[in-house]
Amino acid sequence: MIGVLVTFTQTEKFDRATLAKTAGELRGTFEGMAGLRFKSFMLDEDGFQARNFYVWDEETKARAFFTEEIIEKVTGIYGVPPKIEYLDIVGFVDNSGT
């Protein structure tokens, strides 16, 4: 498994309601996506960073998703280019089924 942390940093606070609306609109894009286990849309407590966290089955699928086209698209959505970090998941707890 591999995690991908995508961070968008602005000089002004993100509007939480707008981010929540965007997350709702984009949710269907990710539901049932091959190789993607989880995706979350997040906002840091100060409101200056929006973060999306993905958990993928394989690194190749994760890296294949983040094309230049996708990066341009999300830059348009969030208004700033993302910082993308690939993280090796060495342990994972999933309590969603309990």
The predicted pLDDT at position 77 comes to: 94
Helix (H, G, I), strand (E, B) or coil at 96: coil
Structure token pair of residue 34: 């091959």
Please give the model's pTM, rounded to 2 decimal places.
0.92
Averaged pLDDT of the chain: 95
Q: What is the rounded CA–CA span in Å between residue 43 and residue 20?
A: 9
**Rounded percentage of the chain residues whose pLDDT exceeds 70:** 100
pLDDT of 94: 86
